[in-house]
Structure 1
């Protein structure tokens, strides 16, 4: 802040010990001018701060909106890719279930609801003959631990939603485009079949000594 000119004048006047009416008026006028300038400057500062706050709030809202839209786009892309993977798996999985496991009925994208509870199965197949077995298939593009947990949850709740199959042996198949060796071992340790994709065709990928678990 510039040094007040009126202060110099005041010191000079007081130093001389003489203050005339004209000099006093000049001092008062100078103080008044500088006060008005200070008030104007303060108002401008307040205005700029308020404008910056409004702009920052606008930017925050726009960023939040953009994040929501991006989340929707990513979610939609994930859903589309998941649907693509399931569609890719279905023809070969139908062939596996019918030829290798002798299933009579193969139903993709099964969703059932009881009250507030819901169960969704990528592929459901069963045979009512002497086999009396049910297979549920979970399809993933990139398998994670959550996918294995999801299949465990499906088999644990299956008979609650499908009491008509309560006397059948229940087996699980985990089909994935990408499945690490660690997760494959976890899948097998739970007694689930592992299925991998090669040349756009899924095939069962288990060791010769593998014993599936009937849930």
Structure 2
């Protein structure tokens, strides 16, 4: 069958229509590519923002960690200072107690030797006594004095341990009668009674002088 001019024009029209449709699809594809590229750019921007936020969070974390370390350092330094003040106050209390305790030990108990801050070591063991006093001859006795700014329960146990260990460290005084005295700036009535039940003398400060604070009929424990 022969192709007519009309057939050729129809084919051309179909080709033109197909070309237009193809062009339209290319434009749509290009538009979608552009949208996708825009979305990728948005995602990349968000990643950048997230990365910046992570970096800022990390910076703040490091700053917080640095502040914690600085606070910890200051707390340790404060602890050392408080400990130093406690030692100084303890030394001050012992120094305050010594003159009046020495007079009391000599006049009331007839002690011949009064030695503050006695430290002794034996076989790897150590013993510290705030004040040790003793007398030979007819009296033949020794007194251990522990001085506290605030009397606490553990101080009573500490003095008992000192008294029980005394003869191991001082065998030269093994034949002496041994007594304990707790001298405190601040002492509750309950702990005073507790110390006396243990058989310890209690001395309390009055007008800057330590005086015995026990009943006249108090019977001390001999160790």
| 1:56 CA drift (Å) | 1.8
Pair 1:72 & 2:67 matched: no
Does residue 133 (structure 1) correspond to residue 141 (structure 2)? The answer is yes
Aligned to 1:25: 33
2:97 paired residue among 89, 92, 95: 89
Structure 1: 5+ residue stretches without partners:
1-16
Structure 1 residue 77: Cα displacement: 0.5
- Equivalent of residue 106 in structure 1, options 92, 107, 114: 114
| TM-score normalized with structure 2 length | 0.86
Whole-angstrom CA distance in 2 between matches of 1:156 and 1:46: 65
Partner of 1:179: 187
**TM-score normalised by structure 1 residue count:** 0.89
CA–CA separation in structure 2 for the residues paired with 1:62 and 1:36: 38
Q: Which moved more, 1:18-27 or 1:96-105?
A: 18-27
Q: Which has the higher helix share?
A: 2
Offset of residue 61 of structure 1: 1.0
Measured in 1, the distance between the counterparts of 2:123 and 2:78 equals 33
- The yes-or-no answer on 1:52 pairing with 2:60 is yes
Structure 1 counterpart of 2:212: 204
Alignment RMSD (CA, Å) = 1.6
Larger-gyration structure (1/2):
2
* Alpha-carbon offset, residue 106 of structure 1: 0.3
Query: How many angstroms apart in 2 are the aligned matches of 1:47 and 1:143?
Result: 56
Gaps of 5+ in 2: 1-24
Aligned-partner Cα distance in 2 for 1:37–1:140? 70
Q: Tell me which residue corresponds to 2:16.
A: none
| Count of residues in correspondence between the two structures | 200
- State the distance in 1 between where 2:58 and 2:124 align: 49
- Tell which deviates more after alignment, 23-32 or 149-158: 23-32
Per the alignment, in what secondary structure is the counterpart of residue 129 of structure 1?
Answer: coil
Q: CA deviation at 1:22?
A: 3.4
